[in-house]
């Protein structure tokens, strides 16, 4: 995790606008987004490579 990510987590928890469960949920959503984006990029890249052959 980046420094900015940690700072955002700390600031939202310390000023009591969010709870720990919010951070856990955000991490889960971020991971799902990364998996989906990696899958989509790999699929597009694979299609581009087969079109060139």
Task: Collect all residues with Cβ–Cβ distance below 8 Å to 18 and sequence separation of at least 6.
Answer: 12
In whole angstroms, how far apart are CA 15 and each of 26, 46, 50? 18, 46, 52
| pLDDT exceeds 80 at position 5 | no
Higher pLDDT, residue 31 or 52: 31
Segment 8-50, tens digit of pLDDT: 778 777 887 767 777 788 888 889 988 999 988 888 877 766 7
DSSP secondary structure, 1-53, as one string: --HHHHHHHHHHHHTTSS-HHHHHHHHHHHHHHHHHHHHHHHHHHHHHHHHH-
Quote the pLDDT of residue 1.
55
Q: What is the domain partition of the chain in residue ranges?
A: 20-53
Q: Does the global pTM surpass 0.85? A: no
Give the pLDDT confidence score for residue 36 in this predicted structure.
92
């Amino acid at each position: 995790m980046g420094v900015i990510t940690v700072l955002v987590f700390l600031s939202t928890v310390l000023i009591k606008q969010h709870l720990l469960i919010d951070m856990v949920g955000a991490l889960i959503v971020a991971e799902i987004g990364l998996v989906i984006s990696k899958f989509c990029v790999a699929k597009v890249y694979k299609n581009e490579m087969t079109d060139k052959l």
